[in-house]
């Protein structure tokens, strides 16, 4: 009979990067509130990820529907296996937040506690998934139809195609969600091991470094202001340019993409912080922990051919395939990609009424570029113009090795932008990364099927 | 391949000959197009752009248009089109957004003519005007369509679809100025080429992207569209609103559609993913393709009819890097492999069934049955003179099965459903009650079954000594029952027809059961055989006898319980408890089991009657071993299956509910669920809502249980602002007013609210009830004569 009260985080708030006040504004929008209520009612909690995503209610609704279908509605895989796959995926990025969360869920749906002692205790069928889990998490372009074949070949522990599709969606979903968790510095839930009482083992927020404070309320505000102005100026320029500049040769376009790809090598985080000791409860789900993102185009190596976006698009091919094997999922993923791709408030920092299409497209395509996907109809020179170096570093880090993201990186890019805008970048990251990995995986399946 | 047809068609002096053939391309094709004279075809893809001439026996490469040391992206074609007026003119759409025209008349090696770089994104489609030489149209991912005049350097006009990407553009063949464009969001727009400011018409054709469209070659108003939603739709555009006239459901996203020349209703399609075949559909017969080409090993990306007036040659390019010419003669026709059958119920329950004559006559051991009036009918389809295909004239047989009215009546079903008791009393009593109900309806076998169930499952300890003997004898009545499973084999006719006239079959088999009970003794089963020495009528006659005794012991049962059960569902307690059903059932079982507890074995043995010697020994051994009730479970299970098989799912479900845990584990979940759903479906057809609800409530299948927990929400609007109320029932968020006031006491109603559907005034249930005792007018004073039911 009472008004539904959503329990509130006490203490630190949902994210260690974003001040609590930013996320929990009194009298939040109606739509957002409604979503929280829904989340609370159906799962008994409003987790930190939901809180942060709540900054973009339109997206959250779509995200929720997908995740709900993935974990809780009818599907080819039994519930406990779904959570176990989520654990496997999150563990690849050492994301103890997601691992902890799904360990609890796994037990709740009646999973066998023994499996939690490590991957070696899980059934062979799940262990077989480890190979593509590893590849999809770090170097999705390596996935081939042989991998798919190995999983599907008949035998005692074989997968059915429908099961495999759901597993693939789960894996990619949780890989990229791990990116989001690290990218936004999501705090552990209260009650989770190493929760509020302790310093969170992940993400490794550099709270100790004094630099973490700068940027936000810093004296360098003027510079930041200028950054925004410069960005605006460039966007305007590009927009006009595009109509005139036609002299660019194809070769140049090609080299621009290659340049962007190779340059992404340089933006890799230079400071390789000593590998932290992983909590054993996460490590036990990982085999070959040293397998990580390797730059797509390392000089001197035979690089695999670039993935041409037009040859295998989500809208035409990916959707058709998923929809055939896991019907509702295709629809929901399609909606989700569309929502995130078109999400805009027409604002940039303190300016409003700005068409941000170019900027969003640059971010999206840059992420795909990092994974080796090339759009024929995109001039990768734009990326260079629009994305400043610190942003590139951040994007690359969060997309490829999210566990290395730090608060410092978070604060260093787009210093004058709102937190919600930075979360927006993270959403783009999440979805673009997921789509990239899915496209590689689905292409492999298509090749297997033909 | 030697029997591959060789077809020659004469088309106004221009002769086309050929056979099914293919050639390897170096790379996957994205699109193909033919020259006007049907002698050459152009293939375009990311890494290929070549012209082949179509000879009689092979494709011969004539020209490679991909020239230059390092071919640029401009050669990476998403689409290609050959002008139908000028055989030197081609246009391609490049993935990087460039539209290129090619002039084959150029003397140099590089035939590239013009380059339009106006689109910002990939161009998906290019299209020449069918009659205008210099007019080219393009549709791109950036949401724009552009019209180019090839004599000028820039586009003449730009059309903005105000939406995401354009997937296809097609000039109308008949209307000089019209073109259609399809979009990724499912819309189709019609434009007038002279009016770039705004589309003439727009409608939503598909759910999800519309990948392709094609104007009908003859019928000016018809437009076919194909979408990601796996549909091909044909729209009649002659009327003000586009009307869907045909719809074909395929098995995969539709990538291309092409009307077949000279055949008004035929259309060729290929799919985007998964399915590699090319289908030719007759849109009037949307369930089965009329022809199918299965040559490709990867998805087909381009299809085109070789000549505008020739329906027999189809060219196709594919991702598997082959170019094919398909000949209609060699197409596989799925219809040949299908067995056309039709089945229909008439208004009066007659059933008509038509099938190919050959199929029916081959079924030789099938005896004609009395109600079966078989009419051999020969249908011959009139050949449509405009369509030059040979229809296979076929003959089919039509059988009509009449149901006589008697057996068609389902009275017994309704009455049984209403009168059966399923829970709330001890098992024995339920069985007896149900047996009585069945007996009254002259369903002896069913009555018998109930009685036996009681005997099997309620402990003998409670049965008075005098009855023991009978009950023992009755144990043996399961014998005829067991035999009744074989019944299906005994009279050869019945087994076959029983499905058609279930009720009839049942009564018939019952008779047989009675008659043959004596002959059935030659059953080599177990010790029970001896029991059947007892004359059958004796056994049966005594059934009613026990009832009194059994009822006597039931008097202990508290009355309240019974009442609770009898209460009709409308009179649910105001807030009816939402019980977790399994536990509720346990609860019931506990009560039902109570007699069992009271009976102990010592008593049983001491009660053994001393009537006939042989019987004693039997009964003794029987009871000493105390055949556990589990012993009968397989038999009971078989019996349930038998009933269900016979179509009396009512019996199966009722027994299932009454016996509950005793039998549930014997039958697999799926079967149970299947029975429940069929029974519930039947009940609902007879509008026995309460009973169906009760069955749902009593069922132990989770899938069934949740049936009445679905859609339990009642949406209400605020009585003030007339807008939907969201979270709380009595206060409106928008106008901040208490919405539901009791018209009698003027307080807010927070619990049960009852209101008149005429004037929508109402209030507390009690208040309204009290009010209506004295007045029939609305308590709010609106003057309405309220009715509450």
Confidence check: pLDDT of B675 > 90: no
Sort out which chain A residues have CB atoms less than 8 A from B276's CB and list them: 450
**Contact (CB<8Å) B122/A316:** no
Q: Which residues of B touch A (CB under 8 A)?
A: 46, 70, 72-74, 76, 78, 94-97, 117, 119-122, 141, 184, 208-209, 211, 228, 252-253, 272-274, 276, 297-299, 319-320, 727-728, 750
Helix axes A419-449, A145-152, angle to 10 degrees: 70
User: Would you state the pLDDT for residue B544?
Assistant: 42
Quick one: how many helices (H) and strands (E) in chain B?
22, 36
Nearest CA in chain A to B210: A316
**Contact (CB<8Å) B274/A315:** no
**Whether the Cβ atoms of residue B637 and residue B667 lie closer than 8 Å to each other:** yes
Structure tokens at B124: 């998906």
CA separation for the pair A392, A270 (Å, rounded): 13
Average pLDDT over residues B661-669: 80
Average pLDDT over residues B251-268: 91
Cite the DSSP H helix spans in B147-291: none
A222 Cβ neighbours under 8 A, 6+ residues apart: none
User: Would you state the pLDDT for residue B7?
Assistant: 53
**Whether the Cβ atoms of residue B357 and residue B397 lie closer than 8 Å to each other:** yes
CA separation for the pair A143, A437 (Å, rounded): 9
Nearest CA in chain A to B230: A320
User: Would you state the pLDDT for residue A316?
Assistant: 86
User: Would you state the pLDDT for residue B170?
Assistant: 93
**Contact (CB<8Å) B122/A377:** yes
Helix axes B633-646, B444-457, angle to 10 degrees: 160
Among residues A95, A184, A284, A369, which one is catalytic?
A95
For A130-156, letters b (16+ CB in 10 Å) and e give bebbbbbbbbbbebbbebbeebbeeee
Pairing of strands B178-183, B77-82: unpaired
Nearest to A308 among B46, B184, B728 (CB): B46
Burial of B141 per CB tally in 10 Å (0-12, 13-18, 19+) = buried
CA separation for the pair B454, B468 (Å, rounded): 13
Residue B777 or residue B115, greater confidence: B115
User: Would you state the pLDDT for residue B733?
Assistant: 66
**Cα(first)–Cα(last) distance of chain B, in Å?**
77
pLDDT digit string, tens, across residues A156-201: 778 888 889 999 999 999 999 999 988 888 877 766 654 443 333 4
User: Would you state the pLDDT for residue B405?
Assistant: 53
ipTM computed for the complex: 0.75
pLDDT band at B506 (very low <50, low <70, confident <90, very high): very low
**Whether the Cβ atoms of residue A14 and residue A48 lie closer than 8 Å to each other:** yes
**Whether the Cβ atoms of residue B86 and residue B104 lie closer than 8 Å to each other:** no
**Whether the Cβ atoms of residue B183 and residue B210 lie closer than 8 Å to each other:** yes
The strand order across the sheet containing B155-160 reads B123-128, B135-140, B144-149, B155-160
CA separation for the pair B28, B48 (Å, rounded): 8
Pairing of strands B351-356, B395-401: antiparallel
CA–chain centroid gap for B432, Å, is 41
The answer to whether A5 faces chain B, any CB pair under 8 Å, is no
Nearest to B252 among A250, A324, A334 (CB): A324
The answer to whether A58 faces chain B, any CB pair under 8 Å, is no
**Whether the Cβ atoms of residue A177 and residue A90 lie closer than 8 Å to each other:** yes
**Contact (CB<8Å) B272/A317:** yes
CA separation for the pair A313, A442 (Å, rounded): 10
Q: What is the DSSP letter of B777?
A: B
pLDDT digit string, tens, across residues B691-700: 888 888 888 7
With H, G, I as helix, E, B as strand and everything else as coil, classify residue B418: helix
Least confident of A19-28, B78-87, B174-183, B548-557: B548-557
Confidence check: pLDDT of A53 > 70: yes
User: Would you state the pLDDT for residue A261?
Assistant: 65
CA separation for the pair A111, A78 (Å, rounded): 10
pLDDT digit string, tens, across residues A55-90: 888 888 889 889 888 888 888 888 889 999 999 898
Confidence check: pLDDT of B635 > 80: yes
Q: Residue A318: which of A339, A293, A336, A345 has the closest Cα?
A: A336
CA separation for the pair B238, B219 (Å, rounded): 10
CA–chain centroid gap for B264, Å, is 31
CA separation for the pair B553, B546 (Å, rounded): 11
Residue B530 or residue A401, greater confidence: A401
Size of interface A-B (CB pairs under 8 A): 74
B53 Cβ neighbours under 8 A, 6+ residues apart: B39, B40, B59, B60, B62
**Contact (CB<8Å) A310/B209:** no
pLDDT digit string, tens, across residues B305-360: 988 888 889 999 998 889 999 998 888 888 888 777 788 877 776 778 777 766 66
CA separation for the pair B181, B166 (Å, rounded): 7
Compute how many other C-beta atoms are within 10 angstroms of the C-beta atom of residue B486. Answer: 9
Determine the length of chain A. Answer: 450
Confidence check: pLDDT of B760 > 70: yes
**Cα(first)–Cα(last) distance of chain A, in Å?**
58
**Residue for token digits 């106004």?**
B12
Sort out which chain B residues have CB atoms less than 8 A from A73's CB and list them: none
User: Would you state the pLDDT for residue B92?
Assistant: 92
Sort out which chain B residues have CB atoms less than 8 A from A238's CB and list them: none
pLDDT digit string, tens, across residues A226-235: 777 777 777 7
Nearest CA in chain A to B78: A310
Confidence check: pLDDT of A140 > 70: yes
The answer to whether A449 faces chain B, any CB pair under 8 Å, is yes
**Residue for token digits 């007879």?**
B686
E-strand ranges in A264-417 read 307-308, 347-348, 351-352, 373-374
Helix axes B502-516, B465-486, angle to 10 degrees: 120
Nearest CA in chain B to A253: B73
A47 Cβ neighbours under 8 A, 6+ residues apart: A39, A101, A189
Nearest CA in chain A to B70: A251
User: Would you state the pLDDT for residue A211?
Assistant: 38
Average pLDDT over residues B84-104: 89
CA separation for the pair B539, A375 (Å, rounded): 86
pLDDT band at B737 (very low <50, low <70, confident <90, very high): low
CA separation for the pair B276, B252 (Å, rounded): 10
With H, G, I as helix, E, B as strand and everything else as coil, classify residue B390: coil
Residue B519 or residue A364, greater confidence: A364
Structure tokens at B473: 């004898």
For A159, how many CA atoms within 13 A lie in the half-sphere containing its CB? Answer: 26
List Cβ<8 Å contacts ≥24 apart for B431-434: B431/B457, B431/B458, B431/B658, B432/B547, B432/B550, B432/B551, B434/B654, B434/B658
With H, G, I as helix, E, B as strand and everything else as coil, classify residue A156: coil
Residue A95 is a catalytic residue? yes
pLDDT digit string, tens, across residues B50-92: 999 988 888 998 888 887 766 677 778 889 999 988 888 999 9
Nearest to B228 among A249, A253, A319 (CB): A319
CA separation for the pair B662, B589 (Å, rounded): 9
Q: Residue A214: which of A406, A411, A423, A418 has the closest Cα?
A: A411
User: Would you state the pLDDT for residue A24?
Assistant: 61
Mutation test of the interface with chain B: which of A238, A250, A326, choosing the one with the most B Cβ atoms within 10 A? A250
The answer to whether A319 faces chain B, any CB pair under 8 Å, is yes
Q: Residue B633: which of B433, B469, B453, B435 has the closest Cα?
A: B453
User: Would you state the pLDDT for residue B6?
Assistant: 53
Pairing of strands A373-374, A307-308: parallel
Least confident of B159-163, B270-274, B375-379, B666-670: B375-379
Mutation test of the interface with chain B: which of A41, A315, A335, A444, choosing the one with the most B Cβ atoms within 10 A? A315
Determine the length of chain B. Answer: 789
Pairing of strands B89-94, B187-192: unpaired
Q: What is the DSSP letter of A430?
A: H
E-strand ranges in A231-359 read 307-308, 347-348, 351-352
Least confident of A253-257, B78-82, B83-87, B423-427: A253-257
**Residue for token digits 């749902």?**
B696
Would you list the DSSP string of B590-655?
HHHHHHHHH--HHHHHHH---S-HHHHHHHHHHHHHT--GGGGHHHHHHHHHHHHHHT-HHHHHHH
Nearest CA in chain B to A357: B142
User: Would you state the pLDDT for residue A76?
Assistant: 86
The answer to whether A246 faces chain B, any CB pair under 8 Å, is yes
The answer to whether A446 faces chain B, any CB pair under 8 Å, is yes
Q: What mean pLDDT is reported for chain A? A: 76
With H, G, I as helix, E, B as strand and everything else as coil, classify residue B315: strand
CA separation for the pair A191, A104 (Å, rounded): 11
Question: For B102, phi and psi rounded to 5 degrees?
Answer: -130, 140
Pick from A118-132, B126-140, B357-371 the range whose average pLDDT is largest.
Answer: B126-140
With H, G, I as helix, E, B as strand and everything else as coil, classify residue B114: strand
Q: What is the pTM of this model?
A: 0.62
Structural element, H or E, at residue A412? helix A407-412
CA separation for the pair B52, B50 (Å, rounded): 7
Q: Residue B659: which of B674, B646, B672, B670 has the closest Cα?
A: B672
Rounded to a whole number, what is the distance in Å from the CA of B272 to chain A's nearest CA? Answer: 7
User: Would you state the pLDDT for residue B125?
Assistant: 92
Residue B267 or residue B374, greater confidence: B267
The answer to whether A324 faces chain B, any CB pair under 8 Å, is yes
Helix axes A161-183, A327-342, angle to 10 degrees: 30
Residue A289 or residue B419, greater confidence: B419
**Contact (CB<8Å) A3/B122:** no
Average pLDDT over residues B720-727: 66
With H, G, I as helix, E, B as strand and everything else as coil, classify residue A67: helix
Confidence check: pLDDT of B580 > 50: no
Least confident of A293-297, A324-328, B261-265, B431-435: A293-297
């Amino acid at each position: 009979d009472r008004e539904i009260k959503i329990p509130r985080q006490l203490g630190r708030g949902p994210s260690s990067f974003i001040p609590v006040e930013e996320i929990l504004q009194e009298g939040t929008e109606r739509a957002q509130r409604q979503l929280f209520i829904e989340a609370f009612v159906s799962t008994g909690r409003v987790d930190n990820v939901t809180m942060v995503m709540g900054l973009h209610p339109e997206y959250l609704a779509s995200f929720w529907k997908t995740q709900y279908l993935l974990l809780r509605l009818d599907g080819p895989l039994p519930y406990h296996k779904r959570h176990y796959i989520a654990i496997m995926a999150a563990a690849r990025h050492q994301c103890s937040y997601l691992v902890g969360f799904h360990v609890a869920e796994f037990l709740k749906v009646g999973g066998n506690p023994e499996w939690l002692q490590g991957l070696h205790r899980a059934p062979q069928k799940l262990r077989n998934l480890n190979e593509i889990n590893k590849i999809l998490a770090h170097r999705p372009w390596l996935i081939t139809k042989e991998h798919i074949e190995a999983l599907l070949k008949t035998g005692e522990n074989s997968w059915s195609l429908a099961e495999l599709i759901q597993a693939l969606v789960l894996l990619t979903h949780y890989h990229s969600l791990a990116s989001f968790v690290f990218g936004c510095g999501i705090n552990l839930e209260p009650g989770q091991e190493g929760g509020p009482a302790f310093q969170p083992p992940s993400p490794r927020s550099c709270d100790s470094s004094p630099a973490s404070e700068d940027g936000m309320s810093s004296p360098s505000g003027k510079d930041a202001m200028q950054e925004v102005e410069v960005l605006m100026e460039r966007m305007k320029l590009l927009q006009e340019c595009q109509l005139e500049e036609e002299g660019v040769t194809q070769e140049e376009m090609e080299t621009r993409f290659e340049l962007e790809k190779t340059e992404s090598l340089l933006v890799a985080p230079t400071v390789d912080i000593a590998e932290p000791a992983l909590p054993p409860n996460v490590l036990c789900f990982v085999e070959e922990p040293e397998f990580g993102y390797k730059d797509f185009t390392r000089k001197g190596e035979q690089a695999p051919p670039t993935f041409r976006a037009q040859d295998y698009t989500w809208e035409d091919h990916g959707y058709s395939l998923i929809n055939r094997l896991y019907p509702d999922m295709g629809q929901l993923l399609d909606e989700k990609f569309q929502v995130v791709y078109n999400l805009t408030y027409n604002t940039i920092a303190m300016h409003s009424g700005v068409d941000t299409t170019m900027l969003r497209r640059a971010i999206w395509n840059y992420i795909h570029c990092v994974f080796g996907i090339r759009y024929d109809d995109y001039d990768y020179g734009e990326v260079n113009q629009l994305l400043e170096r610190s942003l590139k570093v951040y994007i690359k880090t969060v997309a490829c090795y999210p566990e290395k993201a730090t608060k410092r990186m978070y604060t260093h890019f787009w210093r004058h932008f709102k937190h919600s805008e930075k979360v927006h970048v993270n959403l783009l990251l999440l979805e673009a990364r997921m789509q990239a990995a899915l496209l590689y995986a689905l292409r492999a399946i298509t090749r297997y099927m033909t | 391949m030697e029997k591959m047809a060789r077809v020659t068609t004469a088309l106004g002096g221009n002769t086309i000959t050929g056979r099914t053939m293919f050639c390897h391309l170096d790379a996957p094709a994205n699109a193909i197009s033919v020259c006007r004279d049907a002698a050459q075809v152009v293939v375009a893809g990311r890494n290929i752009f070549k012209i082949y001439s179509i000879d009689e026996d092979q494709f011969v490469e004539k020209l490679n248009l991909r020239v230059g040391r390092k071919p640029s992206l401009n050669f990476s074609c998403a689409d290609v089109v050959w002008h139908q007026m000028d055989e030197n003119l081609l246009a391609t759409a490049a993935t990087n957004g460039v539209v290129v025209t090619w002039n084959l008349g150029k003397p140099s090696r590089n035939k590239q003519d013009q380059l339009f770089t106006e689109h910002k994104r990939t161009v998906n489609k290019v299209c020449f005007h069918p009659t205008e030489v210099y007019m080219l149209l393009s549709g791109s991912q950036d949401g724009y369509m552009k019209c180019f005049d090839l004599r000028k350097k820039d586009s003449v006009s730009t059309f903005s679809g105000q939406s995401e990407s354009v997937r296809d553009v097609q000039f109308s063949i008949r209307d000089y100025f019209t073109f259609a464009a399809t979009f990724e969001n499912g819309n189709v727009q019609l434009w007038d080429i002279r009016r770039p400011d705004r589309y003439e018409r727009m409608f939503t054709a598909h759910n999800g992207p519309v990948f392709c469209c094609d104007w009908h070659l003859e019928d000016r108003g018809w437009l076919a569209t194909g979408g990601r939603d796996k549909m091909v739709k044909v729209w009649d555009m002659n009327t003000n609103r586009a009307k869907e006239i045909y719809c074909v459901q395929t098995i995969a996203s539709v990538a291309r559609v092409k009307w077949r020349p000279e055949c008004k209703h035929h259309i060729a399609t290929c799919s985007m993913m998964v399915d590699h075949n090319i289908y030719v559909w007759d849109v009037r017969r949307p369930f089965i393709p009329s022809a199918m080409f299965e040559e490709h090993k990867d998805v087909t990306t381009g299809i085109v009819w070789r000549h505008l007036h020739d329906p027999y040659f189809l060219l196709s390019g594919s991702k598997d890097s082959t170019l094919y010419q398909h000949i209609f003669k060699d197409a596989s026709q799925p219809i040949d492999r299908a067995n056309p059958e039709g089945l229909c119920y008439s208004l009066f329950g007659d059933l008509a069934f038509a099938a190919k004559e050959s199929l029916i006559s081959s079924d030789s051991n099938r005896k004609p049955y009395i109600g079966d009036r078989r009419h051999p009918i020969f249908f011959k389809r009139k050949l449509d003179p405009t369509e030059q295909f040979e229809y296979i004239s076929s003959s089919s047989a039509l059988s009509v099965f009449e149901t006589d009215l008697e057996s068609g009546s389902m009275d017994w079903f309704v009455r049984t459903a209403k009168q059966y008791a399923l829970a709330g009393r001890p098992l024995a009593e339920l069985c007896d009650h149900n047996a009585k109900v069945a007996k009254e309806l002259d369903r002896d076998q069913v009555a018998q079954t109930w009685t036996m169930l009681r005997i099997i499952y309620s402990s003998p300890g409670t049965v008075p000594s005098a009855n023991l003997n009978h009950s023992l004898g009755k144990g043996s009545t399961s014998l005829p029952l067991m035999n009744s499973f074989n019944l299906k084999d005994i009279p050869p006719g019945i087994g076959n027809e029983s499905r058609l006239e279930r009720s009839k079959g049942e009564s018939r088999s019952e008779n047989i059961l009675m008659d043959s009970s004596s002959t059935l003794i030659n059953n080599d089963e177990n010790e029970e055989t001896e029991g059947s020495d007892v004359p059958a009528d004796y056994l049966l006659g005594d059934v009613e006898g026990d009832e009194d005794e059994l009822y006597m012991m039931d008097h202990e049962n508290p009355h309240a319980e019974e009442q609770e059960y009898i209460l009709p569902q409308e009179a649910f307690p105001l807030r009816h408890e939402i019980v977790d059903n399994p536990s509720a059932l346990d609860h019931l079982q506990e009560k039902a089991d109570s007699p069992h507890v009271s009976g102990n074995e010592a008593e049983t043995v001491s009660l053994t009657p001393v009537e006939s010697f042989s019987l004693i020994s039997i009964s003794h051994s029987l009871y000493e071993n105390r055949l556990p009730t589990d012993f009968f479970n397989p038999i009971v299970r078989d019996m349930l299956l038998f009933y269900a098989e016979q179509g009396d799912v009512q019996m199966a479900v009722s027994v299932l509910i009454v016996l509950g845990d005793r039998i549930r584990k014997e039958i697999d979940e799926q079967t149970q669920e299947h029975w429940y759903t069929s029974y519930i479906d039947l009940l609902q057809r007879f509008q026995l809502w309460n009973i169906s609800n009760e069955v749902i409530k009593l069922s132990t299948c989770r899938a069934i249980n949740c049936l009445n927990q679905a859609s339990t929400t009642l949406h209400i609007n605020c009585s003030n602002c007339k807008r939907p109320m969201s979270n709380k029932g009595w206060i409106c968020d928008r106008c901040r007013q208490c919405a539901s006031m009791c018209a009698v006491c003027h307080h807010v109603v927070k619990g049960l609210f009852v209101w008149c559907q005429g004037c929508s005034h109402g209030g507390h249930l009690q208040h309204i009830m009290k009010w209506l005792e004295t007045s029939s007018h609305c308590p709010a004073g609106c003057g309405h004569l309220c009715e509450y039911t």
